[in-house]
């Protein structure tokens, strides 16, 4: 079953300096953290801050192509996680035909925000994250974040390490172009 979610915030894994998008059940309390790349974090942060540029960036270009071809983004579905990799799909309607396109959640979220499309996550993903939070809170000696590739992804439970959109924008502004090349998901 799919559950509607919204972008609650962007965070930063303090151990790896990897951005995280936090999705929250709408309405509800469950959250789903997804580790993303700095470029996608920047695209999401810029849209949340309502920044615009004179020339289209990658996600803006995709929106223009989609619109130019007569397509409408009906929704984004975040469907599963395998080996710490999340999978999503863009559900696009064109001329009465529905097409589903495989995509990364981070790119899908960036496009959905630009088109004001709904975002959905599989209930099992939200449930799994809730169980992980409960286990993490039961063992406070564990680190707040577990880096991807070290087992199950954890989300922050105390709010520490959460980065507001303004802070993320400032962080991303200060990055050197070489920093993006060093990111390994």
Per residue in 1-21, pLDDT (tens digit) is 999 999 999 988 888 889 999
Give domain status of residue 178, yes or no.
Answer: no
Q: How many structural domains compose the chain?
A: 1
Give domain status of residue 127, yes or no.
Answer: yes
Give domain status of residue 183, yes or no.
Answer: no
Give domain status of residue 180, yes or no.
Answer: no
In the block, tokens 């990799």 appear at: 85
| Residue 1: per-residue pLDDT | 93
In angstroms, rounded to a whole number, what is the distance separating the alpha carbons of residues 55 and 63?
A: 13
Give domain status of residue 6, yes or no.
Answer: yes
| Residue 144: per-residue pLDDT | 39
pTM above 0.85, yes or no: no
**Domain that residue 155 falls in:** 2-173
Give domain status of residue 179, yes or no.
Answer: no
Give domain status of residue 10, yes or no.
Answer: yes
Q: What is the per-residue DSSP string for 40-96?
A: HHHHHHHHHTT---SS--HHHHHHHHHHHTT-EEEEEEEEEEETTEEEEEEEEEETT
Angle, vertex CA 174, rays to CA 53 and CA 11, nearest 5: 85
- pLDDT tens by residue, the chain, 185 residues: 999 999 999 988 888 889 999 999 998 889 999 999 999 999 999 899 888 888 888 999 999 999 999 999 999 999 999 998 999 999 999 999 999 999 999 999 999 999 999 999 999 999 887 665 555 544 343 333 333 333 333 333 334 445 556 666 566 566 555 444 444 43
CATH (domain of 153): 3.10.690.10
In angstroms, rounded to a whole number, what is the distance separating the alpha carbons of residues 24 and 33?
A: 9
Give domain status of residue 181, yes or no.
Answer: no
């Amino acid at each position: 079953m799919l559950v509607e979610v919204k972008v609650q915030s962007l965070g930063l894994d303090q151990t790896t300096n990897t951005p995280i998008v936090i999705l929250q059940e709408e309405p509800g309390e469950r959250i789903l953290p997804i580790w993303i790349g700095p470029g996608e974090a920047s695209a999401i942060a810029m849209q949340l801050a309502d920044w615009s540029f004179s020339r289209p960036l990658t996600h803006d270009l995709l929106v223009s192509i989609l619109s130019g071809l007569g397509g409408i983004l009906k929704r984004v579905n975040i469907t599963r996680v395998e080996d710490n990799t999340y999978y999503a799909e863009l559900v696009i309607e064109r001329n009465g035909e529905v097409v589903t396109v495989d995509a990364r959640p981070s790119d899908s979220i960036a496009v959905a925000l630009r088109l004001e499309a709904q975002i959905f996550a599989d209930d099992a993903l939200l449930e799994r994250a809730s169980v992980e939070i409960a286990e993490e809170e039961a063992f406070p000696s564990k680190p707040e974040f577990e880096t991807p590739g070290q087992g199950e992804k954890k989300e922050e439970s105390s709010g520490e390490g959460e980065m507001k959109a303004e802070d993320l924008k400032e962080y991303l502004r200060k990055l050197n172009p070489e920093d993006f090349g060093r990111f390994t998901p």
